[in-house]
């Protein structure tokens, strides 16, 4: 049995043991949903649309544990898609982001198990039709040693094994070893400064997945959490050392600032430049996405309960430059958010997929009398591939109405319009969806 499979099974067994042992102090919530979705262009064809009805049962869940020995934060969605007309094979997908930490020695030694499962495209330049989707997974396991260096100075040493797999794109599959040393200085009750040294070795499992490489980073980080402001800023240097290609270096910088002038409003802005790859981008903690993929009553499920990501699933390293912003307003009846973004990806060894993307999203929720929730959203993105002489513009908008008539039972209806125009005529399409479903909340 391959080492990576053994380690995945061991990590899963450890996580299940920890969770079962801590169940009495844990909070587990879930939502079950089932509905039927009608699409007038299920294969996203530019000129030969196929109409299809899809039966979609699914489950959303969260698990939170804050015990003295076990701390866990898990959020996920399981969904089955039954294509009633037989235009595609039925699919079962999972979207999970979870961390479980086991305290072996209080304030001394922890053991961490993280898992990130999602759905990504097989061919990133093709439309997001059902036959262009695959399950991906990134697993992270390893110990963390904590040590004191003074009253306000402490250290942390980490060792991690990271395994990435994709259902169809086998050049993505990799085994990684990572070590880190961090020194933290508490400047005050709200401010912290740290120095971080990280090194990661990446070994791809299959032919076509190379070249293998080492990533070394050193950076300082400043974190401040105040009543009205949050600041998280880091700056340093990053280097990629290939075993069969030229080395590369780049400055590393990230900053995120949040401002809450009043209780109902939050402004957030984030920018960064760093080396990244598909596996690293998939390791997103529950609730940590700055720009949500959709707005509205997500807990109601159904109607694209699991969304397909936009990662180019492969082994290449790229320089990522990004800017994201969000304004969120929340009141008793009305809530909305606006989120512009810009990103640029520059690949180190093959510039074919170099891209620039800009766009934004907007969403509104309004609570009507009678436990009704009216939700609307829209998003748009323009992608430019310089070396392919190609430009895509993707736009989607939708409207939904949901109701929770009882503490446990509810329903949801929604309409979604999705379209893409591309300089590659074979990748342009229009699609309309109607979804009707019921919901059971624990």
Instruction: Supply the CATH number for residue 58's domain.
Output: 2.40.170
Residue 423: CB partners within 8 Å, gap ≥ 6? 389, 390, 391, 392
State residue 8's pLDDT score: 52
Whether 82 maps to a domain, the answer reads yes
Whether 16 maps to a domain, the answer reads no
Beta bridge partners of 144: 110, 158
Is residue 288 over pLDDT 90?
A: no
Residue 39: CB partners within 8 Å, gap ≥ 6? 51, 52, 53, 54, 431, 432, 433
Whether 107 maps to a domain, the answer reads yes
pLDDT (tens digit, 9 = 90+) per residue, 7-65? 454 455 445 544 544 444 789 999 999 999 999 999 999 999 999 999 999 999 999 99
State residue 42's pLDDT score: 95
For residue 186 the two structure tokens come to 């508490």
Whether 284 maps to a domain, the answer reads yes
Alpha-carbon distance 209 to 314, whole Å?
7
Q: How far apart are the first and last CA of the chain?
A: 40
Whether 220 maps to a domain, the answer reads yes
Do 185 and 194 contact (CB within 8 A), yes or no? Answer: yes
- pLDDT band for 296, please (50, 70, 90 cuts): very low
Burial of 355 (0-12, 13-18, 19+ CB in 10 A): buried
State residue 207's pLDDT score: 75
Whether 11 maps to a domain, the answer reads no
Whether 311 maps to a domain, the answer reads yes
Q: What is the DSSP letter of 286?
A: T
For residue 29 the two structure tokens come to 């919530």
Whether 267 maps to a domain, the answer reads yes
pLDDT (tens digit, 9 = 90+) per residue, 179-197? 999 999 999 999 999 999 9
State residue 303's pLDDT score: 42
Q: For residue 238, give its domain range.
A: 25-441
- pLDDT band for 209, please (50, 70, 90 cuts): confident
State residue 334's pLDDT score: 96
Q: Is the pTM of this model over 0.95?
A: no
Domain total in the chain: 1
State residue 145's pLDDT score: 98
């Amino acid at each position: 049995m391959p080492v990576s499979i053994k380690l995945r099974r061991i990590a899963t067994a450890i996580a299940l043991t920890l969770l079962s042992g801590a169940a009495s102090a844990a909070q587990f919530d879930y939502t079950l949903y089932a509905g039927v979705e009608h699409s007038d262009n299920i294969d996203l064809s530019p000129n030969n649309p196929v109409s299809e009805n899809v039966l979609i049962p699914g489950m959303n869940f969260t698990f939170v544990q804050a015990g003295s020995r076990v701390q866990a934060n898990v959020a996920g969605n399981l969904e089955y898609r039954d294509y009633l007309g037989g235009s595609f094979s039925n699919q079962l997908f999972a979207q999970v982001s979870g961390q479980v930490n086991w305290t072996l020695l209080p304030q001394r030694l922890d053991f961490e198990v993280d898992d990130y499962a999602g759905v990504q495209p097989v061919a990133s330049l093709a439309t997001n039709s059902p036959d262009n989707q695959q399950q991906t997974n990134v697993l992270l396991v390893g110990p963390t040693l904590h040590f004191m260096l003074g009253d306000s100075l402490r250290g942390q040493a980490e060792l991690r094994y990271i395994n990435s797999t994709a259902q169809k794109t086998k050049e993505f599959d990799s085994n990684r070893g990572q070590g880190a040393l961090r020194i933290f200085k508490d400047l005050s009750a709200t401010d912290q400064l740290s120095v971080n040294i990280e090194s990661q070795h990446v070994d791809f499992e299959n032919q076509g997945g190379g070249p293998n490489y080492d990533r070394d980073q050193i950076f300082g980080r400043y974190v401040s959490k105040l009543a009205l402001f949050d600041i998280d800023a880091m700056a340093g240097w990053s280097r990629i050392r290939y075993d069969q290609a030229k080395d590369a270096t780049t400055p590393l910088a990230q900053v995120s600032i949040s401002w809450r002038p009043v209780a109902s409003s939050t402004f957030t802005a984030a920018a960064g430049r760093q080396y990244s790859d598909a596996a690293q981008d998939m390791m997103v903690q529950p609730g940590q996405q700055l720009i949500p993929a959709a707005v509205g009553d997500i807990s109601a499920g159904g109607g694209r309960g699991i969304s397909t990501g936009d990662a180019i699933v492969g082994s290449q390293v790229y320089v990522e430059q990004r800017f994201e912003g969000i304004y969120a307003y929340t009141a008793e009846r009305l809530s909305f958010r606006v989120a512009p973004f810009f990103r640029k990806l520059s690949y180190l060894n093959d510039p074919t997929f170099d891209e620039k993307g800009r766009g934004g999203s907007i969403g509104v929720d309004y609570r009507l009398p009678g436990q009704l929730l009216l939700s609307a959203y829209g998003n748009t993105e323009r992608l430019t591939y310089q070396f392919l002489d190609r430009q895509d513009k993707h736009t989607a908008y939708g409207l939904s109405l949901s109701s929770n008539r009882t503490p446990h039972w509810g329903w949801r209806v929604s309409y979604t319009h999705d379209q893409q125009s591309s300089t590659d005529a074979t990748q342009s399409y229009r699609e309309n969806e109607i979804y009707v479903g019921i919901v059971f909340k624990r």
